[in-house]
A and B are shown apart, each in its own frame.
Chain A
Amino acid sequence: MSGYRFDSIDKLVNTQDGFISRELFVDSDIYKAELEKIFTRAWLMVGHESLVPNPGDFYTSRMGEESVILCRDKAGIIHVFLNSCRHRGMKVCRYESGNTSLFTCPYHSWTYTTDGRLQGVPLYKSLYDGVLDREANSLVSVAKLANYKGTIWATWDPEAPDFLTYLGDAKIHLDQALDCRDGREGGSEVIGVHKWIFPANWKFASENFLGDTYHNPSHRSVDLIGIGPSAASGKKGRRDDELAVAQHVWVSFPVGHGVHSAIQPEQNQYVESFLDNPVLEEYFRHCYEERKRRLGDGARLLPFVGTIFPNTSYHGRQPRGLCAWHPHSPTSTEAWRFFLVDKDAPQEVKDYLRHYYMRYSGPAGMTEQDDLENWLYATSASMGTVARRYPFNYQQSLGAYTSDHPLGGDVSLQVTEQIARGYYNGWAAFMRNASWDEITGGDRKGAARHAAE
């Protein structure tokens, strides 16, 4: 890496005063360093177990810029491998998904079993006997893997803390996206995946989903026409009204995770939200009451959006799903959107939701299209020599948060860029190779010492 040494990272990220250099969003040296320092260490979301339900099922995914295979082996154990032959690097799998007993490299026909072991080497006896160690030439496996409520996460770093430690207090917010609508744990399934490329830096998307409530004006067109689940009944806006009477919270957590959730009043009541379809209305009212019964006071917490550092975002309500913002180049991103429903939801509910997801999200989504326009032109207008001299302003609600709140983390009760400042503090810690203890907030003194230096 040239240009950006560990000690210059803090010059790029000044969260004290609220300035972040545009170099983070356009510079190729920083981008290369991110791939090395962030994407080989952080926990990354790879997929969902519902994509590989049976032994031998595989689904090709990505971690950072690299292709990986999410695979359930013949014994039913889930693995994640680098999709590259140990011999000359050819992709051993160029299908998106399927079922197989072997991955056969098209180049020289080395074959690997579904647990990643090298099995077949043509002419082994005459060319490799006594030299080639099959075990040592398995497909490269991730260092750690976690199945969290059906979502599959992995890291290349054997020193990484376990996934729940990494997640910290952001857990209960992510849970709101992954748990059943009636409060049962887990139980989601992926009903489809959008994949597309857009010409913007990957962090624009990650940051947007931390809880950038301030960008609402860019969605004015959908709010004017109404595309939500009560739109055909004449309601404007793009969503349901369930958060109408809730206290919104924006929370920044160690590592750099950030969420926007909401806490309902104590006497929380269901808010009619699906006027266009009585079956949906009845179903979600039922789920609401069941959830309240199961979770008690905990049911007051409702999700909105969040980003698990560095590049996994979720929509906890509608359009419910997970996003992976895969870095593709300093100025392009490959977006994957995994759409979630409760596996055991009635078919009519699933069918309604998938239509709603499609008109809302992704490149054909009436809401998301306007985000993509913003991210593209924010990136392209930050590439210039002069533009790069002027950092982005992150001073919104500076200092307006409390670190003494039952939710943990730094909690803001007003629209804030504190979650973004926290995100880039996390980014800076990774970029200067901070210890895991410091990154996860265990070593607060280390972080303070660094801040003082």
Chain B
Amino acid sequence: MTITSAEAPAPVETPAPLARNADYYRLKADVEDFLYMEADLLDERRFKDWLNLLAEDIVYFMPIRRNVKFGQHAERENTKLGVGISWFDEDKWTLTKRVEQILTGVHYAEEPLSRVCHMVSNVQVVGVRPDAPTGEEVEVRSRFLVYQNRVEYETYFFVGKRYDTLRRTANGFKVARREIILDQNILLAKNLTIFF
């Protein structure tokens, strides 16, 4: 059975903290600006513009989280990227399909469109790789609180962590990797029609 296998490495290792100097805070401010701008695009339903912020080789992953015995969390709590079934294990093609689906106007789970508000906080830059093969990459951790309200009474709160890899390009940052850690076991929502 592949469901409990731990072939894939742990998602994000904890590197040594970066020195807190002027360069760090400048970079952190740039990253925060980017994340807030991204949240605006999603909340303003500018989905095609949002897609443009995603690298062509993006990995977009939301594991399912399981109740496991003490001591087994690193190995078994989260489903692993590339193994079995998760909530999301997406590439640019499927994310583009999801946007196209909403834009048909007949994706009834998002028609009428939900009201969504992305709160991003606890932003930290945890690593910089200036010499990554596709350009400088920045490892970023943040928390999210995403509020979704649709039709009349339907309301959901999604709370968790994001581990992002942002790649610097001539057109600004692109999201190259996003791991979304939703702090729920059984999903307490009927659908995941929104982007994180």
Residues of A at the B interface (CB closer than 8 Å) are 50-51, 53, 94-98, 189-200, 218, 220-222, 224-227, 231-232, 334, 339, 350-351, 354-355, 357-359, 362-364, 366, 369-370, 372-374, 376-377
Contacts and interface: CB of A to CB of B under 8 A. Distances in A.
Interface string B167-195: 00000000000000000011111111100
B59 to A, nearest CB: 12
Given A339-B85, A355-B89, A51 B3 contact: yes
A197 B186 contact: yes
B64 interface: yes
A384 to B, nearest CB: 14
B121 interface: no
A189 B108 contact: no
B3 A194 contact: no
B189 A363 contact: yes
Given A96-B68, A190-B3, A366-B101, A220 B88 contact: no
B77 to A, nearest CB: 10
A358 B188 contact: no
Top 7 A-B pairs, shortest CB-CB distance: A192-B85, A198-B190, A196-B187, A369-B109, A221-B107, A192-B84, A364-B192
Interface string B101-134: 1001011111000000000000000000000000
Contacts of A53: 1
A221 B2 contact: no
A372 B109 contact: yes
B46 interface: no
A363 B108 contact: no
B88 A196 contact: no
A364 B190 CA distance: 9
B100 interface: yes
Contacts of B98: 366
A105 to B, nearest CB: 15
B85 A370 contact: no
**Which residue among B1, B67, B187 has the maximum number of chain A CB atoms within 10 Å of its CB?**
B1
Nearest to B109: A369
Contacts of A197: 186-190
B151 to A, nearest CB: 8
Interface in B48-98: 62, 64, 66-69, 72, 79, 82, 84-90, 93-94, 97-98
A50 B5 CA distance: 13
B79 A196 contact: no
A221 B103 CA distance: 9
Chain B: interface secondary structure?
Answer: loop
Given A98-B68, A190-B1, A376 B190 contact: yes
A195 to B, nearest CB: 5
Contacts of B69: 95, 98
Nearest to B99: A225
A201 B107 CA distance: 22
B192 A94 contact: no
A221 B106 contact: yes
A95 B100 CA distance: 39
Contacts of B149: none
A98 B190 CA distance: 27
A226 B104 CA distance: 12
A222 B101 contact: yes
B106 A220 contact: yes
Contacts of B110: 369
24 contacts: A50-B1, A51-B1, A95-B67, A96-B67, A96-B185, A98-B69, A191-B2, A194-B64, A195-B185, A196-B190, A197-B187, A198-B190, A220-B104, A221-B104, A221-B107, A224-B106, A231-B97, A334-B186, A350-B2, A362-B87, A364-B87, A369-B107, A370-B109, A372-B191
A227 B3 CA distance: 25
A370 B107 contact: yes
Nearest to B152: A380
Contacts of A351: 82
A97 B4 contact: yes
Nearest to A350: B2
A322 to B, nearest CB: 13
A192 B62 CA distance: 14
A222 B189 CA distance: 21
A227 B94 CA distance: 8
A51 B3 CA distance: 8
Nearest to B192: A364
Given A190-B3, A192-B86, A221-B107, A372 B190 contact: yes
Contact of B108 (A192, A198, A221, A354): A221
A205 B32 CA distance: 43
